[in-house]
């Protein structure tokens, strides 16, 4: 135990990161309380929770025709199968209510709201911690703090985590983020002089769980599976068979876990996959200025700091060769792909892709900022960065406080 509690693992950076995540959690808690006072709920929340509870208690598999006539219209039009989410999405929503069956009754609205928010608060907290860990490992403390501040005061991430009139996509976002960077981490370990497949069993499990959460929460995130493989093959050109074996093992685990979410009913699982909407795109959106304007407005609503930080970081990336290395290019490529998918699908699941692109943009901005801080213009860059982050944090705190009065 003495070797675990070291200064490297629990020092000043970890304390500051924990403090920022605590502030993030307090803001989410404030929004949950406002939801309770206003009796607000996200559309489809009650159906999602009831379907999950019924499956947990031995009822029909969620997201399938056996759930009855109270399903949303998009489910009814898809032969009773949810076109965008697997049964896992419903199981996550219903799991907290196993602790208190009476919470769904009107006599205890506070328990109902807090239990319905609990999984997504946890996912939001874990996504913030993962974001800080990845950014700090790639770019040092400066990069970790930059990415985490951008995340902790992001209105879109707060709304998604607190369920404030928003689809609960933060679990899918954490799964996609974890899958990409776990794949990258696995590839970097393939040159170690060990039996890589067996030695990486923990990362195989982590990659499998990440892919399960991503695809299970949003079918269209199947796109993450080939992206993960592409990064692994690129980073380990001389160990591609080992990379392929690890990727295949993780995909096998993902398939098994998704089948388990359907209680291993092969027919239901196969029909759900057949009727899933993996990729729905409107290529005409590329030529529509209104679609691009809407995408930019959505990004600004998710994180106002992106309107300044993202263009500035992109200009530096294009103009300064030092920033064009894999650690910065990878999150930029993933963010660009997600934004393109969000542009091609103006409605759901495109709206989910827009949210999922934001953590990767935060990592990209953090990387460029960390490199700029190592130049002779450090003082100027530091002043600009501190000014932007402080203004961003204060603006968001004031906006969250106004929710209680508006």
What pLDDT does 396 receive?
94
Task: Give pLDDT tens digits for 252-267.
Answer: 999 999 999 999 999 9
Question: What secondary structure letter does DSSP report for 276?
Answer: -
Least reliable range by pLDDT among 4-18, 163-177, 247-261, 338-352: 4-18
Maximum separation of any 2 CA atoms in the chain, in Å: 65
Q: What is the mean pLDDT of residues 367-371?
A: 96
> CA 377, CA 398: separation in Å to the nearest integer?
32
CB atoms within 10 A of CB 134: 27
> CA 77, CA 96: separation in Å to the nearest integer?
29
What pLDDT does 8 receive?
55
What is the CA angle 88-89-95, rounded to 5?
Answer: 80
Number of separate helices (H) and strands (E) present in the chain? 17, 0
Quick one: pLDDT band at residue 4, thresholds 50, 70, 90? very low
Mean pLDDT, rounded, of the chain: 87
What pLDDT does 173 receive?
95
Q: What is the mean pLDDT of residues 271-277?
A: 89
What pLDDT does 139 receive?
96
DSSP 153-191: T-HHHHHHHHTSSS---HHHHHHHHHHHHHHHHHHHTTT
What pLDDT does 349 receive?
67
Prediction pTM value? 0.92
Evaluate whether 81 touches 63 at the Cβ level (below 8 Å): yes
> CA 39, CA 293: separation in Å to the nearest integer?
32
Evaluate whether 128 touches 148 at the Cβ level (below 8 Å): yes
Q: What is the mean pLDDT of residues 397-403?
A: 90
Alpha carbon separation from 88 to 67, 145, 218, 378 (Å, rounded): 15, 33, 10, 47
Task: Give pLDDT tens digits for 101-121.
Answer: 666 666 677 888 888 899 999
> CA 61, CA 99: separation in Å to the nearest integer?
20
User: Which tokens is 232 given?
Assistant: 């692994």
Q: What is the mean pLDDT of residues 266-281?
A: 86
> CA 170, CA 157: separation in Å to the nearest integer?
7
> CA 108, CA 97: separation in Å to the nearest integer?
12
What pLDDT does 1 receive?
45
Residue 215, phi then psi, degrees to nearest 5:
-70, -40
As a whole-number percent, the residues of the chain with pLDDT over 90 amount to: 59
* Residue 168 reports pLDDT greater than 70: yes
What pLDDT does 304 receive?
95
Task: Give pLDDT tens digits for 188-218.
Answer: 888 766 655 566 788 889 999 999 999 999 9
Alpha carbon separation from 240 to 123, 210, 269 (Å, rounded): 32, 21, 31
Q: What is the mean pLDDT of residues 18-32?
A: 95
**Residue from 335, 323, 297, 330 nearest 381 by CA:** 323
What pLDDT does 378 receive?
94
Quick one: pLDDT band at residue 292, thresholds 50, 70, 90? confident
User: Which tokens is 260 given?
Assistant: 């388990």
What pLDDT does 260 receive?
95
User: Which tokens is 275 given?
Assistant: 């009727």
* Residue 5 reports pLDDT greater than 50: no
> CA 289, CA 280: separation in Å to the nearest integer?
20
Evaluate whether 236 touches 184 at the Cβ level (below 8 Å): no
CB atoms within 10 A of CB 351: 16
> CA 387, CA 148: separation in Å to the nearest integer?
16
* Residue 299 reports pLDDT greater than 80: yes
Cα 20 off chain centre by: 18
Question: Which is higher by pLDDT, 282 or 252?
Answer: 252
Task: Give pLDDT tens digits for 118-155.
Answer: 999 999 999 999 999 999 999 999 999 999 999 999 99
């Amino acid at each position: 135990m003495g070797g675990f509690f070291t200064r490297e693992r629990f020092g000043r950076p970890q304390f500051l990161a924990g403090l920022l995540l605590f502030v993030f959690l307090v803001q989410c808690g404030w929004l949950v309380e406002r939801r309770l006072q206003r009796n607000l709920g996200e559309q489809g929340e009650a159906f999602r929770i009831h379907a999950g509870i019924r499956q947990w208690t031995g009822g029909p598999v969620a997201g399938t025709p056996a759930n009855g006539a109270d399903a949303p219209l998009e489910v009814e039009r898809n032969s009773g199968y949810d076109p965008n989410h697997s049964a896992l999405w419903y199981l996550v929503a219903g799991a907290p209510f196993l602790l208190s069956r009476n919470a769904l009754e009107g006599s205890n609205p506070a328990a109902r709201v807090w239990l319905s928010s609990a999984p997504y608060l946890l996912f939001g907290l874990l996504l913030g911690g993962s974001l800080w860990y990845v950014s700090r490992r790639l770019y040092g403390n400066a990069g970790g703090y930059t990415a985490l501040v951008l995340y902790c005061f992001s209105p879109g991430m707060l709304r998604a985590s607190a369920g404030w009139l928003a689809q609960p996509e933060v679990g899918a976002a954490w799964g996609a983020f974890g899958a990409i960077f776990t794949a990258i981490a696995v590839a970097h370990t393939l040159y170690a002089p060990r039996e890589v497949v067996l030695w990486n069993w923990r990362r195989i499990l982590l990659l499998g769980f990440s892919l399960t959460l991503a695809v299970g929460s949003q079918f269209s995130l199947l796109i993450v599976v080939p992206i993960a493989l592409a990064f692994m093959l690129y980073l380990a050109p001389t160990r591609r068979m080992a990379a392929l074996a690890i990727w295949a093992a993780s995909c096998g685990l993902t398939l098994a876990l998704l089948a388990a979410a359907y209680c291993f009913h092969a027919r239901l699982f196969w029909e759900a996959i057949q009727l899933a909407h993996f990729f729905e795109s409107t290529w005409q959106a590329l030529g529509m200025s209104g679609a691009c304007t809407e995408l930019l407005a959505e990004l600004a609503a998710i994180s106002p700091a992106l309107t300044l930080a993202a263009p500035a970081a992109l200009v530096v990336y294009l103009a300064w060769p030092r920033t064009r290395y894999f650690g910065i290019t990878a999150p930029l490529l993933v963010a660009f792909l997600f934004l393109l998918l969000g542009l091609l699908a103006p409605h759901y699941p495109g709206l989910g892709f827009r949210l999922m692109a934001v953590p990767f943009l935060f990592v990209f901005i953090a990387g460029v900022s960390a490199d700029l801080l190592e130049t002779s213009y450090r003082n100027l860059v530091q002043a600009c960065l501190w000014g932007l982050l402080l203004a961003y944090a204060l603006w968001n705190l004031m906006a969250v406080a106004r929710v209680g009065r508006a």
